[in-house]
Amino acid sequence: MTTRTHRNQMLGIRTTQDFVNKFDGLCDRLGYNRSEIIRYVLKRFYNEHFNNPENFTRVRKEMF
């Protein structure tokens, strides 16, 4: 994993308009923009699951 943080990176996903509408509603309710919410969620997910074999296995089962 690279630890360089001196420049911004773009991360994109393909999704439905319904998801975008719901996500924007969540952002409005929380008072943060999309980038801040995504960074928070991914960081929390990573911290809770990456080095925990039980959680990692559970997520794999839920996704596939």
Residue 56, Cα to own-chain centre: how many angstroms? 15
Structural domain including 37 reads 17-63
Per-residue pLDDT reduced to its tens digit, 15-29: 999 999 999 999 999
Say if 7 falls within a structural domain: no
Say if 58 falls within a structural domain: yes
Confidence of residue 8 (pLDDT cuts 50, 70, 90): confident
Say if 25 falls within a structural domain: yes
Residue 3, Cα to own-chain centre: how many angstroms? 18
Domain count, the chain: 1
Say if 49 falls within a structural domain: yes
Give this prediction's pTM: 0.71
Say if 11 falls within a structural domain: no
